[in-house]
Amino acid sequence: MQTTRRGFLGAAAASTIALSTPARLAALAQARQSAEAGRLFRDDILTPALLLDLDAFEANVQEMASFLRSHQRGFRPHGKSHKCPEVGKALAKAGALGHCAAKLSEAEVFAAHGLGGLLVTTAVIGKAKIGRAVKLAAARQDTIFSVDHAENVRDLNAAAAAHGGRRPLRLNLAVDLLIGRTGIEMGQPALELAQLIDALPNVRLAGLQAYDGGASHTTGFEQRKARSTESMSRAAETRRLIERSGIECPLLSGGSTGTYNIDVEVDGVTELQPGSFVFMDLDYNRIGGQDGPVYDDFRSALTVLTTVVSHRPGVAIVDGGFKAFSTDRPFTPRATDPALAEVPYAWGGDEHGRLDLSAAEREVKLGDRIEFLVPHCDPSVNLYDAMYCLRGDRVEAVWRIAARGMSQ
């Protein structure tokens, strides 16, 4: 069989699977070159693969950036959703003042790729990590760390002193917004921790970290609005309490894709940190929008491409299972092809998904390529080394998910 030049380049560039890490990186670099040269197409991509629709992604970035700008709120999108420096750079270009990172190691990757204004939204606990946090802050002085415990504040202060203490570490005080997960109780306990930070020489209060994950996914706009307005208003009240005591508390950072247009109405919220809006997922579609049962303020930009690898009458098996999609939601992926929209996908194990074709409005054959919307974007992205960025059927870029697996 003759291999065309385009086919060869495409296949070589896309074959990142089953290679050692250095070989995988080399294959990714090659894929990137082919994409940049305009020689890589959707049909060349080996499956399962993560795809990004660039038109939809860029529209999402612009939509959120201009919405927040028009409401005079800062934009510090959460990088835990994308884990990808190229996405971060696109957000910075659109006006993001910085980037949130869920974990220290994620922030380190972002910093290494030139992203600034980092806010680590979980506490950095333990000597080794605190040492690394101090180094990161020395390299990127605008980095902010989240704290919710006096002992951790003292440890950070001591580590910063041992590191020369040239500039105090910037800390956001994380408050517990009705979740009961992390964060100090709002009101007096938060004020006392702010006073401790204020009293120590090598740390400085940057603001409050206030994320209500329960509000983000509350179904029904009015219910979501009630919940988020209550929690963010209480956070804003705590910020005022701290400021009334004479301690500056410049930031109140929080919010999400689900609550962005609610939280901007709360006086005292200075910046928002939504993440999923860049991609969207089925989970967010289901929470209900302001004008209808489907939340579609942002476009679905992220899909997983699969291939039908087995077929018998009425059933097709695709090569995407637990390892191709996150499985943390009580529903499964959905095909983007309208003719397959009613076809149920069922988990078929680690490597497979089963399609019941009785509801298919077109023929499905062995080797067909089927794209799916993911149940939950963040953990799905974390399964892939790279995303193939498409403009129509042409792969315009291959972006490495450089902070994939950075969960320390």
Ligand X SMILES: Cc1ncc(COP(=O)(O)O)c(C=O)c1O
Q: Would you tell me which residues interact with ligand X (CB under 6 A)?
A: 78, 80-81, 100, 121, 211, 213, 216, 256-258, 273-276
Q: Omega before 48 cis (within 30°)?
A: yes
Report, in Å, the least distance between residue 253 CB and ligand X: 8
**Closest separation in Å from C-beta 119 to ligand X:** 9
If we measure between CA atoms, which residue out of 351, 341, 307, 345 comes closest to residue 329? 345
DSSP-assigned states of every residue in 200-241: STTEEEEEEEE--HHHHT-SSHHHHHHHHHHHHHHHHHHHHH
Residue 164 backbone zone (phi > 0: left; psi -120 to 50: alpha; other: beta): left
- Choose between 78 and 132: whose C-beta lies nearer to ligand X: 78
- Taking the least distance from each CB to ligand X, the nearer of 110 and 345 is 110
CB nearer to ligand X: pick between 34 and 121:
121
- Least separation, in Å, of the C-beta of 94 and ligand X? 16
User: Between 275 and 320, whose beta carbon lies closer to ligand X?
Assistant: 275
- Residue with Cβ nearer ligand X (108 or 271): 271
Q: How far is the CB of 80 from ligand X (least distance, A)?
A: 6
Of residues 298 and 345, the one with the C-beta less far from ligand X: 298
121 beta partners: none
Residue among 95 and 379 whose Cβ is closer to ligand X: 379
Whether the CB-CB separation of 159 and 219 falls below 8 Å is answered with no
Min dist CB 130 to ligand X, Å, is 20
Residue 393: Cβ within 10 Å count: 9
Smallest separation (angstroms) from ligand X to the CB of 244: 26
φ, ψ for residue 46, nearest 5 deg: -75, 145
Between residues 278 and 357, which has the closer beta carbon with respect to ligand X?
278
| Shortest separation between residue 256's beta carbon and ligand X, angstroms | 3
Instruction: Report the alpha-carbon distance of residue 408 to residue 224 in Å, rounded.
Output: 31
Task: Give the largest CA-CA distance in the chain.
Answer: 78
Rounded to 10 degrees, the C-alpha dihedral 354/302/78/286 comes to: -60
Tell the smallest beta-carbon distance from residue 330 to ligand X (Å): 18
Question: Count of CB atoms within 10 A of residue 195's CB?
Answer: 14
Rama region for 3: left / alpha / beta (φ>0; ψ in -120 to 50; rest) = beta
The residue (of 47 and 209) whose beta carbon lies closer to ligand X is 209
- State in angstroms the smallest separation of the CB of 248 from ligand X: 23
Laid out side by side, the sheet with 118-123 consists of 74-75, 271-272, 251-254, 203-210, 169-174, 144-147, 118-123, 99-101
Give dist(CA 392, CA 378) in Å, integer: 24
CA–CA gap between residue 119 and residue 239 (Å, rounded) = 18
Whether residue 364 contacts residue 355, with contact meaning beta carbons closer than 8 Å, is answered with yes
